[in-house]
Amino acid sequence: MDNMLKEYSVDYRLTAAGCTAQGELPLSTLIRQIIEIATSHANILGIGYKDLIKNRSAWVLGRLNIDLKRLPSMHEDYSLTTWIEAFNRHYSIRNFVIQSKKDGVIGYSSTVWMAINIDTRRPTDLSIIENREEMILGKDCPVSSQFRIPLPKNSDIENLYQFKTTDIDFNRHVTTCRYVDLVQNQLPLDFYDYNSLKYFEIAFHHEGIWGETVKISSEKTGNGELLTAIVNSSNVVICSNRMTFRIR
């Protein structure tokens, strides 16, 4: 396979209407763009939705982490570039670099994707994908999403939320972006005025559905991390999250 195909980039510009209160790219928008360019690149490689559905399979995002120097700011031109780092029978690791037009690299992201059978919801053996070794680009990404995220032991911050109509995606499950908003909303607006996100890691364990009420619990650990779990009414963990910050 041509090396040019093994990497895929998209350019963006952050509009004023798309900014957070701090004049930056919302994390949920960055993660939506990460998912979108992963999807586009998979289509180009012939391993997209239309290809996997022939085996009644679809990609699901299992984990995602982001390591940031800073987020893109208002009116800034930035790009995302993605490539596949690894591929085995169980999952694929896909990486991303976030580059500012003026500053160069401002962040990295690494994601883990599984495929599931859409009828049984059981994992699909990725050996159905021929030539998958050929799609791998030997390019370094200095982040890893291989560590287990601890669940909060104490509940320093606790909120309840009921999933609503606009939280649901085409798979009839809660969107990734909504989970990202919910974990970020554990902290007040002015916290983000004084601190910026340094590291973000989220792992998806169970699918959330419309009408379900969840508990969002966070622990502030001794080493400056915020650990969050979103748990449903049957006490099943839907997703777990770890964030660290730096003072602005």
The single residue among 5, 7, 9, 40 that binds a second copy, judged by CB under 8 A, is: 40
The single residue among 20, 55, 195, 196 that binds a second copy, judged by CB under 8 A, is: 20
10 bridge partner residues: 80
Q: Footprint of a second copy on residues 151-170 (CB under 8 A)?
A: 164-166, 168-170
Residue where the block lists tokens 């999403």: 145
Q: Footprint of a second copy on residues 86-145 (CB under 8 A)?
A: none
Q: How many angstroms separate the CA atoms of 203 and 243, rounded?
A: 12
199 bridge partner residues: 67, 244
Q: Footprint of a second copy on residues 169-208 (CB under 8 A)?
A: 169-170, 172, 181, 184-185, 187-189, 191-192
Q: Footprint of a second copy on residues 54-93 (CB under 8 A)?
A: 74
Q: Could you tell me if 241 and 183 are in contact, meaning their C-beta atoms sit under 8 angstroms apart?
A: yes
Q: Where are the alpha helices (DSSP H) in 13-147?
A: 27-45, 49-52
Decide: is 51 part of the binding site for a second copy (CB under 8 A): no
Min. distance of Cβ 164 from a second copy in angstroms? 4
Using the minimum distance from each CB to a second copy, give the nearer residue, 22 or 79: 22
Structure tokens at 73: 């700011």
Min. distance of Cβ 104 from a second copy in angstroms? 25
Q: Could you tell me if 108 and 66 are in contact, meaning their C-beta atoms sit under 8 angstroms apart?
A: yes
Q: Where are the alpha helices (DSSP H) in 98-241?
A: 176-184, 189-194
- The span of 12-20, 135-143, 150-158, 226-234 binding a second copy (CB under 8 A) equals 12-20
3-state SS, 127-156, equals HHCCCHHHHECCCCCCCCCCCCCCCCCCCC
Q: Which amino acid is at 18?
A: G
Q: Could you tell me if 243 and 226 are in contact, meaning their C-beta atoms sit under 8 angstroms apart?
A: yes
Decide: is 32 part of the binding site for a second copy (CB under 8 A): yes
The single residue among 1, 11, 39, 53 that binds a second copy, judged by CB under 8 A, is: 39
Min. distance of Cβ 31 from a second copy in angstroms? 10
What are the distances in angstroms from CA 23 to CA 6, 16, 139, 161?
33, 8, 32, 26
Using the minimum distance from each CB to a second copy, give the nearer residue, 128 or 187: 187
The single residue among 2, 4, 16, 120 that binds a second copy, judged by CB under 8 A, is: 16
Min. distance of Cβ 181 from a second copy in angstroms? 4
Q: How many angstroms separate the CA atoms of 239 and 205, rounded?
A: 5
Where along the sequence are the contacts to a second copy (CB under 8 A)?
15-23, 26, 28, 32, 35-36, 39-40, 49, 74, 164-166, 168-170, 172, 181, 184-185, 187-189, 191-192, 210-211
